[in-house]
Amino acid sequence: MSVVSDRLPAFPWDRLEPYKATAAAHPDGIVDLSVGTPVDPVPEAVQKALTGAADSPGYPTVWGTPELRDAIVGWAGRRLGARGVTHHHVLPVVGSKELVAWLPTQLGLGPGDRVAFPRLAYPTYEVGARLARAGHVAYDDPTELDPAGLKLLWLNSPSNPTGRVLSKEELTRTVAWAREHGVLVLSDECYLELGWDADPVSVLHPDVNGGSHDGIVSVHSLSKRSNLAGYRAAFLAGDPAVLGPLLQIRKHGGMMTPAPSQAAAAAALGDDEHVRVQRERYAARRAALRRALTGHGFRIEHSEAGLYLWATRDESCWDTVAHLADRGVLVAPGDFYGPAGEGFVRVAVTATDERVRAAVDRLTA
């Protein structure tokens, strides 16, 4: 019995390899818009913080340094409008994907429990449920779920892949429903600082949670807003009654962010200017790609925030992937994110300026 076949779906990105080979054969090379991997430099101040902490021979702490916790607390108040956040309300993690994949297991979920996530969603929400051998259910409206056995409710705003932003009213209604039914809310907000046509709101905002963090935890990452995907720097903020036991579990598992990465994360969270600069880069690339795609016959839906354009030509996503691969452009098929994405592709805006110009030229030729 294979662990993968028994517990996990096939790794979706393997299916994209033939199309990647086609795109790579383009005379001017591939433009890879399939994965949202940062390509711009790590901010200089963050690099200096990393190298300054390079002489770290001892084990780092799971809870993070006081300096990192201070930085998270300050950022949550400044950027999220969160109130009453202390060191006991925060917990560094080794990248947000690790957290998403292993959280149901660390929370003690198993057979008979259920995990819910959006119908169009990051595949790792389902993977996390499967690793814990818990059930899983996709939703359109979380407040219409059957709460029986439901232990963990994932929100994702701004959404990956669609870029949809949940309104303050939607978040407030969902938090109230989850509290009524004793369901823990985990809000994946990793793209929150990348709003374009909407202003994303955190579940930690008092207008959403009524000034209480009970039953809610938000997930944040420095990968996109600070180009730190290689540093594995992310964190949780929210209910101490959830984070306290989770800290103890993660101590037993040795889930420690390396000390140099902790120093770098603290520096990144304390500096808003590099985020503004990076936002301007992404805004220009997004605008150029959006114009080129719509001119090429695509329709863009949602995409009001985040690093992706959710695009369709009203055909099979794999036909669209093939069409663009023939032009040397690689995108992600929408069905990677659930059957509801079958007619869409996800186009990342994370390529370099030069590669974005190449994609625009090919789409407008």
pLDDT, tens digit (0-9, with 9 covering 90-100), for 201-259? 999 999 999 999 999 999 999 999 999 999 999 999 999 999 999 999 999 999 999 99
Q: Is 151 helix (H, G, I), strand (E, B) or coil?
A: strand
Q: What is the pLDDT of residue 1?
A: 41
Q: What is the pLDDT of residue 327?
A: 98
128 band by pLDDT with thresholds 50, 70 and 90: very high
Phi/psi region, residue 304 (left: phi>0; alpha: psi -120 to 50; beta: rest), is alpha
Q: Which of 335, 326, 312, 334 is nearest to 365 (CA)?
A: 326
Beta bridge partners of 139: 118
Alpha helices for 111-182 (secondary structure H): 124-131, 168-181
The answer to whether 213 touches 91, Cβ cutoff 8 Å, is: no
Q: What is the pLDDT of residue 23?
A: 97
Q: What is the pLDDT of residue 13?
A: 78
> pLDDT exceeding 70 applies to what percent of the chain?
98
Degrees, nearest 5: CA angle 130-118-315: 105
Mean pLDDT of 305-311: 98
Tokens at residue 246, please?
Answer: 């989770």
Q: What is the pLDDT of residue 57?
A: 95
The answer to whether 33 touches 351, Cβ cutoff 8 Å, is: yes
Read off the pLDDT of residues 133-161 as tens digits, 9 standing for 90 and up: 999 999 999 999 999 999 999 999 999 99
Residue 315 has pLDDT above 80, yes or no: yes
Set out the domains of the chain in order of their start, with CATH numbers.
3-41+274-364 (3.90.1150.10), 56-270 (3.40.640.10)
The answer to whether 38 touches 224, Cβ cutoff 8 Å, is: yes
The answer to whether 363 touches 33, Cβ cutoff 8 Å, is: no
Residue 10 has pLDDT above 90, yes or no: no
Mean pLDDT of 257-276: 97
Mean pLDDT of 89-115: 97
C-alpha neighbours within 13 Å on the C-beta side of residue 56: 17
E-only strand ranges, the chain: 31-32, 90-93, 114-118, 135-139, 150-156, 184-188, 216-221, 234-238, 299-301, 308-312, 329-330, 332-333, 345-348
Q: What is the pLDDT of residue 14?
A: 84
Looking at every residue in the chain, the average pLDDT score rounds to 96
- Residues near 17 by beta carbon (within 8 Å), at least 6 away in sequence: none
> pLDDT exceeding 90 applies to what percent of the chain?
95
What secondary structure, in 3-state letters, does 183-200 show? CEEEEECCCCCCECCCCC
Q: What is the pLDDT of residue 239?
A: 98
The DSSP bridge pattern shows strands 308-312 and 345-348 to be antiparallel
Read off the pLDDT of residues 40-59 as tens digits, 9 standing for 90 and up: 999 999 999 999 999 999 99
Tokens at residue 163, please?
Answer: 């870029």
Q: What is the pLDDT of residue 6?
A: 63
Residue 37 has pLDDT above 70, yes or no: yes
Q: For tokens 């201070």, what's the residue?
A: 70
262 vs 222: CA distance, rounded Å: 11
Q: What is the pLDDT of residue 250?
A: 96
Residue 8 has pLDDT above 80, yes or no: no
Residue 169 has pLDDT above 50, yes or no: yes
Please tell me the pTM assigned to this model.
Answer: 0.94
147 vs 159: CA distance, rounded Å: 23
The answer to whether 326 touches 22, Cβ cutoff 8 Å, is: yes
